[in-house]
Structure 1
Amino acid sequence: MKKWLTINELAEKTGVPHQTIRRYISNHSHHLVMRKEHKSYFISEESIDTVSRIRELYAEGKNIKEVDTILANMGIPMNITVEDDEKQVSINMGEALVQLQKDMDEQKKFNEKLLETIQAQNENLNKQQEYMSKQQEFISHTLEKRDQKLIEVLKESMETRKQIAASEEKEEKEIKKGFWQKLFKL
């Protein structure tokens, strides 16, 4: 369990004046493990070293941005307070950014593979459409040939029926002719 210190208790432990600690809270609270209750701040004992390090950096003549950069490069985690739960989450920005970059690179590779897959599927779809088009053309051509042959067969059949009918008619006429007419060829 964390032990929480008031600003005055932290000032006593670190030798840093309470006004200076308030300024550190204002400028660098994201590097401190702290919580706020009403108007009072409570800082965790684990932030004592961070407060001391901030004081040293200012003593060396560093400005706010330089102090933040140095703290981040030292691996001091940044703390984010989730207001709904009043919980703090510690994040090492360097590691988080490296992980974020790795995740983005993986996502980029995934997107590239997905794009390749989509392009390959589009090519396959185009090939299938081309094949279906050729197949439909072949079927249409085949049906057209079949229809033409069917018409020819029907015409031939009609012609044959006409010839059969004509020959039957001729035979009937010949049968009707009398014996004598056939004999004398009248």
Structure 2
Amino acid sequence: MVKHDNEYHFPPVERLLTDLEAFRLVGELRSDRGTPDQARALMAQFVAAAYTNDGPSRELITFVRDALAEYLDGKSLEAAFRVKRGRRGRPTADARAGIDLAKVMLRHCVVRGSTVEAAALEGAAACHSSPTNAWAAFRDHKTKALQEMRMRTDGPPEVNEAFPEHRDRIIRLFGVAIA
């Protein structure tokens, strides 16, 4: 919302997206297949929906929350909201391996309830790595890994904050409440 001369600017939105449309668009953007115009359209949807009685959908709130988490993790606001593209292409093989290792650890910690120490040992064994590398991958890639586990396109999300035990474990791991 931009304030000009004591008036608020409402972004032009022809119609509010359905939850499914927002979910698909967020998935496109999170997988870096979307465009900056689509990212701006999602932001406009969020602002417009904030002025309705129902408010923004869970998908729009998730998009904004995850973008702010990436910003707090060191990305620029433009890159976090996908308005400006970061590096082109997919993650490097090393980054992809790190994300996969962080996902294994999150799966053990959040879904199965293991300790982080046990998850590091399991992740290291599963990914043919060392516990030290598992800890480093978790530290560097846990936010991206959590996003990927939430936004699965081939089935239900692996991590779901609607489950109290998942939410409590995520809070313990990340040190913040998940909305």
Q: Taking structure 2 as the reference length, what is the TM-score of the superposition?
A: 0.21
Higher relative contact order (CA 8 A, sep 6+): 2
Higher helix share: 1
Q: Which of structures 1 and 2 has the bigger CA Rg? A: 1
